[in-house]
Amino acid sequence: MRPLFHPSIDDVTVEGILHALSDPVRVSIYARLAGLNCAAACTAFQQAGDRVIPKSSLSQHFRVLREAGLVRSERSGVEMHNTTRCGEIEQRFPGLIPAILNAHRMQAAGTPSSRPPRRRTATAAVRKKAKGR
């Protein structure tokens, strides 16, 4: 069995963290894992809202989180137990993870300030101008 890759905290980058958390499923998994005080098996995250995530996709999501330095994974028999590296990341990038998790909570709750402003398309602007004539 191949050993798991965990980057040194000195090799963890903001770009890597943001890339790993740019996927809605991964940020949801990470937010749930960060809310736990103990290690959790990958299979505990198979349910994402109203859909089930296939084990192969779940493994891929955890691999991306692990290689970005966000989680530490340990094999336990056939299962993988995961914990966050929030403490280490907080020392390297103070405030980054709490800010990301707070923004995720706001977005998940549908807070109006979390929605981007609505933009008018060029077509809508042209129609409005044509109507005004």
Higher pLDDT, 35 or 96: 96
Angle at 104 between CA 86 and CA 119, to 5 degrees: 145
For 50-94, the pLDDT digits (tens) are 788 888 899 999 999 999 999 999 988 888 889 999 999 999 999
The full set of domains in the chain, from first to last, is: 9-114 (1.10.10.10)
- Alpha-carbon distances, residue 56 vs 61, 86, 96, 112 (angstroms): 9, 25, 29, 35
**pLDDT score for 114:** 45
**pLDDT score for 132:** 63
State the pTM of this model.
0.76
**pLDDT score for 45:** 82
